[in-house]
Amino acid sequence: MKTLGTKIILLALVALMVGVAGCSRDDSNPLTGVTDSQSAAKADELDIVDTAIDAGAFETLVAAVGAADLVDALRGDGPLTVFAPTDDAFAKLPEGLVEQLLQPRNKAKLQELLLYHVVAGEYYSGDLRRWQFTETLNGKYLWIRKYWGGRVYVNNAKVVIPNVGASNGVIHAIDTVLIPKGFELEPEEATLDIVDTAAEAGAFNTLLAAAGAAELVDALRGEDPLTVFAPTDDAFAKLPQDLVAALLLPENKAKLQELLLYHVVAGQVTKSDLKYYQWVDTLSGSKLRIIKWFGNVWVNYSKVTTPDVLATNGVIHVINKVLIPMNFSLETKSATWDKAALDTYGADKAVGFEEAPPSDFDLKYLESSN
């Protein structure tokens, strides 16, 4: 017993020595590339804007702050807490959105978006509660959760580097741009119909070929406004390829029409028109479930990657998975494919909170609150 007790004491002493050595070591700050002592010194010299510039990981954010005329506000006495999206976080936004935000006509919307990342007062991660709602400078609230191990989430964004001190506050680097509830940009004016808009985009070759085989092109060029949830070529590539080939055969035209019309809703319905939880009728006669979740839109289990692509006769919402109607079934040489089989075929594993659809628990809340 004495020998075992002695070993435990020795192990504890070793662990303590390692811990002390770790605390005394001048580790490099993983965001700025400088040592902790240098970072502390810079916090006394650099304000929030200059700290972000010095870090080198916030070029898009700094450009946006300049375009929104918020530089002076972020250089003020403060103190302020900024949840700062990195360049990689901005790169995850829908294609073209950043360019639209930086246009002078969208200055007010850009200010709304950026001020949603700023909180009055100086809050280091140790000051945050396990679960709280915090008001931002745009008047809306952030949902902050702190988990064991020090992980902090703000809405659907993860704090990747906390506690970057500045002379007038603190920066927490986050991996996702925070989108205020109800935030929408005015879509740009359309010049082409739905078919030509899809053709010009260059990402819908399979969808257009399918619309041709199903003899639906004229319907999609019609004057009556339509809303199309349009799967990209990559979305069709996630389906069994023998199924796609079979759908394009003349004898399966009715099944192809059923599938394609399940992606079309009568009327022009933009993202701002959608509720946070609803069922909508499609031209196939079946319903789609629509969910707005932390700035994202989910149609069944397909994510809208680019909303509000306006056409002269409606609007396109780009989606990343082909939608399968409830009673859909088609037999091919390799298998009989129905909705259950196709929903699980080659299913993507969600990477990151912002890429995952709402959980069953979240859906129950959405259903009860709508």
So what's the pLDDT on residue 14?
37
- pLDDT reported for residue 190: 82
Least confident of 32-46, 57-71, 159-173: 32-46
pLDDT at 16 over 60: no
Q: Is residue 240 exposed (0-12), middle (13-18) or buried (19+ Cβ within 10 Å)? A: middle
Q: Is the pLDDT of residue 10 over 50?
A: no
For the chain, give every residue range classified as CATH 2.30.180.10. Answer: 32-174, 194-369
Tell me the per-residue pLDDT of 82-92, one tens digit each, with 9 for 90 and over: 999 999 999 98
Q: How many Å apart are CA 355 and CA 353, to the nearest integer?
A: 5
Q: How far apart (Å, rounded) are the C-alpha atoms in residues 52 and 43? A: 11
Nearest 5 degrees, angle CA 58-CA 66-CA 159?
30
Q: What is the mean pLDDT of residues 97-120?
A: 89
Checking if the pLDDT of 26 tops 50, the result is no
29-33, 152-156, 174-178, 247-251: which range is least confident on average? Answer: 29-33
Which of these CATH numbers, 1.10.3470.10, 2.30.180.10, 3.40.30.10, 3.40.50.2300, describes 32-174?
2.30.180.10
Query: Residue 306 and residue 187: Cα distance in Å, rounded?
Result: 11
Q: Can you list the alpha helix ranges (DSSP code H) found in 224-314?
A: 233-237, 241-247, 253-261
Residue with tokens 């799967």: 231
Is pLDDT above 80 for 161?
A: yes
The model's pLDDT over 220-274, given as tens digits with 9 standing for 90+, comes to 999 999 999 999 999 999 998 889 999 999 999 999 999 999 999 999 999 888 8
Instruction: Report residue 152: phi and psi, to 5°.
Output: -125, 130
Evaluate whether 116 touches 136 at the Cβ level (below 8 Å). yes
Binned at pLDDT 50, 70 and 90, residue 7 comes out as very low
Q: What is the CATH number of domain 194-369?
A: 2.30.180.10
pLDDT at position 31, please? 46
pTM of the model: 0.58
Using alpha carbons only, give the angle 175, 181, 185 rounded to the nearest 5 degrees.
90
Closest CA to 178 of 355, 365, 358, 354: 354
Which residue's entry shows tokens 């969910």?
291
Predicted confidence (pLDDT) per residue in 280-304, tens digit: 999 999 999 999 877 788 999 899 9
